[in-house]
Amino acid sequence: SQQGEEDPQALSIQEGENATMNCSYKTSINNLQWYRQNSGRGLVHLILIRSNEREKHSGRLRVTLDTSKKSSSLLITASRAADTASYFCATDTGTASKLTFGTGTRLQVTL
Amino acid sequence: DTGVSQDPRHKITKRGQNVTFRCDPISEHNRLYWYRQTLGQGPEFLTYFQNEAQLEKSRLLSDRFSAERPKGSFSTLEIQRTEQGDSAMYLCASTARSSYNEQFFGPGTRLTVL
C-alpha cells in the first residue's frame, strides 16, 4: 500500500521556472527520500532527509520536512527540460527498513 | 559500471509460465530489496535480504513468488505460474550497512504476461 500522496499529481512549467511538489505521509518516519524516475526507467536517488532535520539542499534541490504535519516538499529551482520526470517521495521507519512510496508527481518542463 | 544491474530488462511470457529475474547489487552493499511497480503507481515493497538472510516479505509476495540470495551477493526473484496481474516493473535496490538507508535502484525488469 502507498504511504501517502504527492501533490500535485501533475505539474507543467516552463524552463527556468521553479517547481514545487509536496508529499504527505501517514505514520511516524525515520527518513524521507526523494527519487526521480524517467519514463519506463529505474529510480534515481536525489536526496535523503532525516526526521530530525528540517531542510536540506543539494545543488538545485531544496527539501523541507515538517514532521508535525507529516509532510515534505521538494523544490527544484531554475528547471531544465531534462528535469522532466516523475518524482516520488519514500519514507522508512528505520535504518534497514523497506521504503514506502507515494503516488508520484509527473513534472513536465517545456522549452 | 558500479551501479545495481538487473537482467533481463524486458520479459514477455505466456500465462502459466515460470520466469526468473536476477539482480546484482552494488558490490559492498549488504542489503538488497525487491519492489514491484505498476503503471502510474509508486513502487511497492516485496522482500528484503540482509546478506543471504531473507528478513521480511510483503503480503504481496504470494506463494507463487520466491526470492533467494544464496551467497549474499546477487539475488533472484522467481514467479511461478505467471498471471496477467503479475505484469509490472520489478525493481531491485541495494544499500550499504553504514548508510542512512539510501537505496540505490537498478533499471528494473519489465514483465509482460500475455
Nearest Cβ partner for B42 among A31, A96, A104? A104
Nearest Cβ partner for A41 among B4, B43, B107? B107
- In B, which residues are within 8 Å of A2 by CB distance? 41-42, 44
Q: pLDDT digit of tens for each residue in chain A (111 aa)?
A: 556 688 899 999 999 999 999 999 999 999 999 999 998 788 999 999 999 999 999 999 999 999 999 999 999 999 999 999 999 999 998 867 899 999 999 999 999
Say if residue B98's pLDDT is above 80: no
- In B, which residues are within 8 Å of A43 by CB distance? 43, 91, 93, 105
Phi and psi at residue B99, to the nearest 5° = -85, 170
A-chain residue closest to B107, CA distance? A42
pLDDT at position B92 is: 97
pLDDT at position B60 is: 84
pLDDT at position A85 is: 97
In this complex, do B42 and A101 lie within 8 Å of one another by their Cβ atoms? Answer: yes
Say if residue B1's pLDDT is above 80: no
pLDDT at position A61 is: 98
pLDDT at position A96 is: 73
pLDDT at position B35 is: 97
CA distance A48 to chain B (A): 7
Indicate the helix (H) or strand (E) that contains A61.
Answer: strand A61-66
How does residue B99 score in pLDDT terms, banded at 50, 70 and 90?
confident
Residues 6+ apart with CB under 8 A from B63: none
Say if residue B38's pLDDT is above 70: yes
3-state secondary structure chain B: CCCCEEECCEEEECCCCCEEEEEECCCCCCEEEEEEECCCCCCEEEEEEECCEEEEECCCCCCCEEEECCCCCCEEEEECCCCHHHCEEEEEEEECCCCCCCCEECCCEEEEEC
B-chain residue closest to A1, CA distance? B44
pLDDT at position B101 is: 86
CA distance A52 to chain B (A): 13
pLDDT at position B75 is: 98
- In A, which residues are within 8 Å of B91 by CB distance? 42-43
A51-60, A77-86, B43-52, B95-104: segment of lowest average pLDDT: B95-104
